[in-house]
Structure 1
Amino acid sequence: MKAAILPVTPLQQNCSLIWCTATNKAALIDPGGDLAKVRSGVAKAGVEVEKILLTHGHIDHCGEAGLLAKELGVPIEGPHEADRFWISRLDEDGARYGIRGAVFEPDRWLVEGDTVTVGDLTLDVLHCPGHTPGHVVFVHRPSRFAIVGDVLFQGSIGRTDFPLGDHAALIDAITTKLWPLGDDITFIPGHGPVSTFGQERRTNPFVGDHALA
């Protein structure tokens, strides 16, 4: 597996391009906007996008995902259906944030225990609610790698003051679903720099071991 980060929208959301080196098949994760930049990143990598994966339904993560899926002729997988609330209001949220938003219906809603494939790669799906009720995380165990959206950041965690946010559920998802995967997991968050679960357990002021002791 290889991965590239393409920051998009005024919120500098980390759209991720991941691909299977054996097949050159790729997936775009959370292509929320700035589609010209996304297309350029795909062309630079020289890969073939076969699907779009979504961690959750917020405008900066999926506002233009439906438009891109139609353009490329590829399916959308994710998030969990509990985020239908957010996807149904992309038009109005787009106007509020100055980001183009278009309502769409994913080809496949995801649930805990599902897997998604990218070429020969298989990623596990974890349902990690709290930031949004339908947030999912993608984990590629063989390469010790995860794409966590807005669940966890370097030094912080996802906001829970939006509608349907749940702080306790978010903390529970991080500590019971992410930490057991191992300290050596490297993750791409929805915003900001890459980190590892081990670093966050040591230093994160919200979900680090000392903070929760």
Structure 2
Amino acid sequence: MSTRKVAGPEIERLIQLLSKLPGLGPRSARRAALHLVQKKEQLLIPLAEAMGVAVEHVGICSQCGTVDTSDPCTICSDPRRDGTTIVVVEDVSDLWALERASAVSAHYHVLGGTLSPLDGVGPDDLHISKLVERVASGNVVEVILAVNATVEGQTTAHFITDQLAQFEDVKVTRLAHGVPVGGELDYLDEGTLAQALRARTKF
């Protein structure tokens, strides 16, 4: 039996797009769409304008892979940051979490995920080769593997360590205790993240 449509195609399209966002299923997307439409002046119009600006001006940094309105991004172009240290993270949200902790003033490298053979994600699907290129430039002294303490995260960390083993003068470290097994950086408090970075150990 087919599901009866309760709204016009425009609203259905809005619901469909919202349901693709992380954490939003069909039911949550319907509630969000209804709230936006009912608060058109306060929410929907400003949101549409903000999204238009984002489409026009926000892009991916060609050096580290974060999102910003400039390329290179604000972090990569900041002369006050330590260019000899690269903090490797899985996603942009992890980079933002570390920045909120203000525990390190270095450059970053966003992998774009983790190795997951079961999901068909291999080394070529991540920005690992770009990381190796950056290290090969000769300016890097330390690479901090700030990946999540999951099986996929640790597998990715081991793979990256093997790839960087050719650079004998480059120290590869990882986050120390404080990041729980199975935990994700974006959900940890700033104090835990700061302690994990300060107590990092050789991988």
TM range (shorter): under 0.3
TM-score, structure 1 normalization: 0.26
Q: Which is richer in strand?
A: 1
Q: Which is richer in helix?
A: 2
TM-score, structure 2 normalization: 0.27
